Structure 1
Amino acid sequence: MTSQNPGPLVSAEPVSAPWSGSVAAPRHAVPSGEGAGAPGPGRAVRRAVFGAPGDPRWARPALWGVLALAAVLYGWALSGLANEYYAAAILSGTRSWKAFFFGALDAGSFITVDKPPFALWVMGLSARIFGFGTWSMLLPQVLAGVAAVAVVHSAVRRALPGTPGHAAGLLAALVMTLTPITVAINRDNNPDTVLVLLLVLAAWFCLEAVRTGRTRTLVLSAVLVGLAFTTKMLQAYLVLPAFASVYLAMAPGTVLRRLGRLLAAGAALVVSSAWWMVVVDLWPASSRPYIGGSTDNSVWDLVIGYNGLGRIFGGTRGAGGMPGGLPEGLPEGAQRGFPGGGGGFGGTSGAGRLFNDILAGQISWLLPFAVIALVAGLVLSGRGSSRGTRAALLLWGGWLAVHYVVFSFAGGTFHPYYTTAMAPAVAALTGLGGVLMWQAYRESHAWSWALPAGIAITGAWAFVVLRRTPDFVPWLAWAVAAATVAGVAGLVLARLGRRLRRRTAVVALVAGLVAGLAGPAAYALTPLGSPVNGTNPTAGPSGSRGFGGMGRPGGMRGGPGGAVDQKAIEYLRKNRGSATWLVAVGSAQSASSVILSTGLPVIAMGGFTGSDPAMTVDRLKQLVSAGQLRYVMPGGERGGPGGGGDSEVNAWVQASCTAVTPAEYGGAEGDASLYRCG
């Protein structure tokens, strides 16, 4: 076998390391025609379209194409109000700055949602400017998703010198764009989209801090992680082990200097993470909303309990965070979507969770290739590549490893869309490692097997995932198998043969790319043709989505509980009088739907699950006597879905208030019980 190079598909001209501050111009640079060097709008337009002088001519237009694809996938045919729980809070925030600041579910600020409010602020500001609606609420999510793709591209491109960096960045951006669960969540109003953008920005600045050693850049990275904490609490901190260890190991300066900068960044992290929490917990409880999801009306309990250790180790709230276990009437098979039924919404915890029937089609397509790319990339980047490449591989590899362990073994509530936080790492490792393996394939006989092996394993896994739902695009699995065989065989023949080696390698590389991306691309298209499942958004055929693919059994749009009849809502509006709240109901589902249909404040006595101890008898008496509340629609006993917080509250309502019969508002017998208390 000859080791002669079959010819570069990616320009291999000499360049200086990207961390040295200068890069030599590649062969295909932006033309220096009229206006290329002259100031003015023409130069700015050319730079925007073709990139900076020295960039390959294809690089910037290709990036624009990927970003346009992301915008279409994330924004096409958006409809509905996604997760009504968050939508109600966003609407309420447009009616009250107090509700906006606290992230209250209702404009009267009785109880907050069970997450910190940063993502709600982003969507809420848009809704305040443009008026509340589907597009004003979800457009910031679409833009955040597209921006995250662009940031990942930039971070990966800067990690490799010259044209290979542009190729790696483009591949990473394409993988990020086509990750199925990312497409699904970026069309939704859950906070994960904003979380991912903040974290990839933090990664960009962390890598820049490793390159330059500048304290302010590292501090800015820490502040972005802190803002991510104010978006989704402790999940934001999963990137910290990778960030801190890479900086400590590879940043310029002595170890003491690096430790000092890390301490400064740590202080910034604490301040940017804790400021809202401290303000809220110091605020007099009597003049702020109850902290939804907490057991003692404090953000600290929410951080450590429901949104912290409870997610990792599980809790006592029952399945899926629901008091008393599973809701009744779920379709056959839906019980596996809850912790009490053998796992979270993402299935039973364990090393294979991310490859199970529910999650495999959402995130796992390129996980094996990313691991191969990480290992091969670290070995290959030690053979003369810049330390920037190694730092990037270690950072994204650490990001992926920590998320894999936590997501695989978490024993509490686990939704498939949490895994969108893994997409940047999978994309970056695929881009960086893929290009490094391609370069090694061309230049090294010893490493010529790595890329074919990666394509073979990726194609085989894609075939397995696709065959789990044989009715979904039935021919696709076999097309992927054929593309995999063609890609692997072509790469092997290109190394062994003496003629047409470059052309064979090009065709094989394209076939391998098709084999790796056809499956996720097919899944990524499915959310565009179906209504958003706000509680558990997923992509792909319904049979692969677990609970998320079964629609909304039991009305699970905004938490457990029953809906309020439209005739009852009209009755309440006519008889509300001067009360602050239209009605008090058992849980967030009922409250959210009424808030969205009326725009009026509604109390969710038991929060999202119906089990929060937000409403007490004394508090209810106070609201009724002050004329702030006239009507109550209690749920069941605490421990059941829609419980409304406390059986004592229900008993007081039944004993002290007047029952409104369904006949008074034109309802049907068997409708939820309504009581007039004032």
Structure 2
Amino acid sequence: MTTLPAAVQAAPRTGRLARLWRGRAEDRPWARPALLGLLVATALLYLWNLSASGYANSFYSAAVQAGSQSWKAFFFGSLDAANAITVDKPPAALWPMALSVRLFGLGSWQILVPEVLMGVGTVAVLHAAVRRRFSAGAALIAGAVLALTPVAALMFRFNNPDALLALLMTVAVYCVLRALERDRGAARWLVRAGVAFGVAFLAKTLQAFLILPPLALVYLACAPGGFGKRLGRLALGGLAMLVSAGWWVALVELWPVSSRPYVGGSQNNSFLELTFGYNGLGRLNGDEVGSVGGGGRGGPGGAVENLPAGMELPGRPGGGGGGGWGETGIGRMFGESVGGQISWLLPAALILLVAGLVVTWRAPRTDTARSAFLVWGGSLLMTLAVFSFMAGIFHEYYTVALAPYLAALIGMGAAVLWEERTRWPASAALAVTVAVTTWWAWTLLGRTPDWLPWLRGTVLVAGAVAALGLLFAGRVDRRLGFGLAGLGLAAGLAGPFAYALATVDSGHQGSIVTAGPAGGAMGGRGPGGGRFFEGGGMMPPAGRTPGGQGGQLPGGRGRDGGTPAGIPPQGMPQGMPQGTARGERPGGGMGGLLDGARVGAEAKAALLADADAYTWVAAAVGAQNAAGYQLATEKPVMAIGGFNGSDPSPTLDRFERYVAEGRIHYFIASGGGMGGGMGGGSAIASWVEDTFEKVTVDGATLYDLTQKK
């Protein structure tokens, strides 16, 4: 099995358009048109209703807007064009969006279309990776599974760093698979893999390195050539990774502190501290200094003791088994919060991984089919283990990182078992895979019993028929066998496809978003086990203080599955969701912690008055609170304390100096009691309240920093 398939060999040279449509000469005529159709369908699915999400996560959209106006903000990932503080991640994921906004202007599509293109690109790269060693059908199945995974349909339409991370991880795996194929040219492919890992680090720091250990071990064990040569090539790839990530880190660390923005998310203005602390070990052990709601000790203004009594952050109910961000353990990916996002085909992927390794077990050391199972399977298991047991900040949408690995195993495993279907163990494995997938889809659909109730029974019946028939797949007519296989695939994909459609049919805004129908990520309940009520937040269980996402149901949607009704936002692009939910404070979800503020016309006009005379038209505690005003005015708004309002930037002395120099016009009070009482922002807010007159405009409390009491 070491010989590469004919599909890998060079095709005869023909015209570019002919090759684009026809593909390789040895491919069946339907193979390339089917791929192009898959990519077009993926693009249309992800583009559908895209503007309903508006600015999506205002935190990152504000940084994109800043980067489109200032190259310095672009380089550092600053939250405002005046470069007060950065986001709490490196800036690579912001760069494509910022370039798009610089070229086409600020708007929802300009920000989110680059994310859609990343999704289409990830499907294309995954298809190419699987096609290197397996059939066109296997590659198409893998691509379709990825495109229809609910969390992928969410995050490839959203402006968090996860979309770029998933694309680059898929590219890295593709490059490693190419390096495993033959001795000649392997070094070049490992260097390319190293570059992909390095750029991925600049998107989401250490999460980019989760799959490095299994990939390195598989290459050392299975690549052609001597062991010393393999080790040297890995070192070369590691050097490429270090250079492609380290150049930016070195510049930030060596840049004079006085002339660069504060590193958001850190407590000591150090990107290295941010990388290995808040975004590193803190995510694993829960000791996230400066995190609101994080476990372990709190930094200045830091952790759970700063939440109002009884409040729980959305998506992190208290519970046994782990950290404050939900129950940890092997069942986490299958639980009510995460299961509907990613786990529809996860049992099937694990079964097919074992089956693929059993079928290829006796192959030579350098067999490329077995190497592919080890690479994709190792990546899945490593990421799955970390996500399952990490005690720090964890959100459901992180699981998009699993989607390419899972999809590849589905396509490859199904193809291998189909080829072996004349053997009883292979046909039995196919039947068991379909049966388990059907049962799990039936279980997941049961968590939203009032949503498409007919689908649950349909999936169960179709899956049962397919599973029973596939027991005899090698003994029935070939066309009947294909029909049973197609029925089983349809039964397995029906649930995630329906969830994906529900996802793209609704807008998603804020910091905590989930895929699927309203309530689908929480078993029909609100965060923390509460239920949502009219006017924002949620009705808590007995003895709890209301919390929640300012009137949004899980997934960032309004009560009716669409955009929340209320005050229309000012200064937002055509197609942005309508303003606030009834009763929602102007500061956004949880007092501006989770979503950007909604800005009325009068407040916008006040901030724009003489705006060019100030470095910052306003300052607000917490990045989301500031982001709403910055996106509305397209002028710099200082985010005091970064995302959580807990970063020690700026200090009270520096803020007083900025005010004395006439560099800040207004201070915007927090909308709901979260942002204004945290970290250094608490002292600044108290000083402003004691020193300046306040005025209420469009429901927002402003302090004119040029007018003392």
TM-score norm. by structure 2 comes to 0.84
- Describe the shift of the 1:392–1:574 C-alpha distance in structure 2 as closer, same or farther (beyond 3 A): same
CA spacing shift, 1:17–1:166, aligned 2, 3 Å: farther
Q: How does 1:479-518 map to 2 (within 5 A)?
A: 479-495=458-474, 501-518=477-494
On the 8 A contact 1:561/1:642 being kept in 2, the answer is: no
**Is the partner of 1:604 in helix, strand or coil?**
strand
1:396 partnered with 2:376: yes
Alpha carbons of structure 1 residues 634 and 550: separation in structure 2 relative to 1, 3 Å:
closer
Which has the larger displacement, 306-315 or 389-398?
306-315
Partner residue in 2 for 1:12? none
- Point out the more displaced range, 500-509 or 420-429: 500-509
Report deviation, 1:577.
6.0
Match of 1:626 in 2: 661
Q: Is residue 291 from structure 1 mapped to residue 263 from structure 2 by the alignment?
A: yes
Change (3 A) 1:560 1:376: closer
3-state SS of paired residue (1:441): coil
Aligned to 2:275: 303
1:597 aligns to what? 632
> How far did 1:318 drift?
4.0
Please give the residue correspondences for 1:195-210 in structure 2 after superposition, counting only pairs within 5 Å.
Answer: 195-210=165-180
- Map Cα deviations across residues 270-309 of structure 1 (whole Å, 9 max, x no partner): 1212221221121111111111111111111110111111
1:421 aligns to 2:390 (yes or no): no
User: Contact 1:73–1:528 at 8 Å: present in 2 too?
Assistant: yes
Would you say the 8 A contact 1:223–1:268 is kept in 2? yes
State the TM-score, normalizing by the size of structure 1.
0.87
Conserved in 2, the CA contact under 8 Å of 1:180 and 1:523?
yes
Paired AA for residue 102 in structure 1: F
Partner-residue secondary structure (3-state), 1:630: strand
Matched, 1:246 2:218: yes
In structure 1, C-alpha distance between the alignment counterparts of 2:277 and 2:231, rounded to whole Å: 31
**Distance in 2 separating the partners of 1:226 and 1:481:** 44
The whole-number CA distance in structure 1 between the counterparts of 2:250 and 2:460 is 55
Q: Which residue of 2 aligns with 1:519?
A: 495
The change in CA–CA distance for 1:38 and 1:167 in structure 2 (over 3 A counts) is: closer
1:166 maps onto 2:136 in alignment:
yes
* Structure 2: distance between partners of 1:344 and 1:601: 36
2:342 aligned residue: 363
Distance 1:270 1:641, change over 3 A: farther
Q: Structure 1's 416 and 630: CA in aligned 2 closer, same or farther, altered over 3 A?
A: same
CA distance in 2, matches of 1:494, 1:563: 58
Cα distance in structure 2, aligned partners of 1:309 and 1:559: 23
- Give the alignment partner of residue 457 of structure 2, picking from 478, 501, 516: 478
Contact between 1:157 and 1:168, CA under 8 Å: does it hold in 2? Answer: yes
Pair member with larger Rg: 1
Aligned residue in 2 for 1:227: 199
Distance 1:54 1:96 in 2: 51
Across the two proteins, how many residue pairs are aligned to each other?
634
- The residue that corresponds to 2:236 in the other structure is 264
Counterparts in 2 of 1:302 and 1:637: CA distance versus 1, 3 Å: farther
Return closer, same or farther for 1:392/1:556 CA change in 2, 3 Å cut-off.
farther
Residue in structure 1 matched with residue 19 of structure 2 by the alignment: 47
Distance 1:21 1:440, change over 3 A: closer
Deviations 1:101-122 (A, max 9, x none): 1110111110111111001011
Which of the two has greater helix per residue? 1
Letter in 1 for 2:169: L
Contact 1:345 1:414 in 2 (8 A): no
Are the aligned partners of 1:194 and 1:231 in contact in 2 as well (CA < 8 Å)?
yes
CA distance in 2, matches of 1:471, 1:216: 53
Q: Within 1, Cα distance between the matches of 2:451 and 2:267? A: 44
Report the counterpart of residue 120 of structure 1 in structure 2: 94
What's the CA shift for 1:524? 0.7
Change in Cα spacing, 1:452 to 1:345, as seen in structure 2 (3 Å) is farther
Deviates further, 627-636 or 76-85: 627-636
2:48 paired residue among 76, 96, 121: 76
Alignment of 1:544 with 2:520, yes or no, is yes
The AA in structure 1 aligned to 2:642 is: G
The whole-number CA distance in structure 2 between the counterparts of 1:328 and 1:289 is 31
Q: Deviations over 1:539-595 (max 9, x none)?
A: 212122235336488723973488476334422322546111001111112210000
What is the RMSD of the two structures over their aligned residues, measured on CA atoms?
2.8
- Partner of 2:693, secondary structure, is strand
Q: What is the CA–CA distance in structure 2 between the aligned matches of 1:269 and 1:297, rounded to whole Å?
A: 24
- In the superposition, relative to structure 1, how do residues 279 and 166 fare at CA in structure 2: closer, same or farther (>3 Å)? same
Equivalent in the alignment of 2:566:
none
Q: For residue 703 of structure 2, what is the aligned residue in structure 1?
A: 674
1:438 equivalent in alignment to 2:471 = no
**Cα contact 1:366–1:516 (8 A) shared by 2:** yes
- Aligned-pair CA distance for 1:57: 1.1
Q: Distance in 2 between matches of 1:19 and 1:561?
A: 51
Q: Which residue of 1 aligns with 2:28?
A: 56
Please tell me whether the aligned partners of residues 337 and 344 of structure 1 are also in contact (alpha carbons under 8 angstroms). Answer: no
Q: Deviations over 1:389-413 (max 9, x none)?
A: 1111000001000111110111111
Q: Separation in 2 of the partners of 1:345 and 1:127?
A: 37
- Unaligned ranges ≥5, structure 1: 1-14, 26-36
Correspondence for 1:184 among 154, 176, 192: 154
CA distance in 2, matches of 1:619, 1:649: 10
Structure 1 residues 635 and 490, CA, compared in 2 at 3 Å: closer, same or farther?
closer
Tell me, yes or no, if structure 1 residue 338 matches structure 2 residue 371.
no
For 1:90, the equivalent position in structure 2 comes to 64
How far residue 649 of structure 1 moved from its aligned partner, in angstroms, is 2.6
Counterpart code for 2:467: V
Deviation of 1:330 after TM superposition, in Å, equals: 10
Residue 482 of structure 1 deviates from its aligned partner by 0.8
**Paired letter, 2:608:** R
Give 5+ residue unaligned stretches, structure 2: 296-301, 528-553, 559-583
Is the 8 Å Cα contact of residues 346 and 406 (structure 2) preserved in structure 1?
yes
Q: Does 1:17 find its partner at 2:23?
A: no
Residues in 2 aligned to 1:330 and 1:51: alpha-carbon distance in whole angstroms = 60
Q: Is the 8 A contact 1:523 1:540 kept in 2?
A: yes
CA distance in 1, matches of 2:20, 2:180: 28
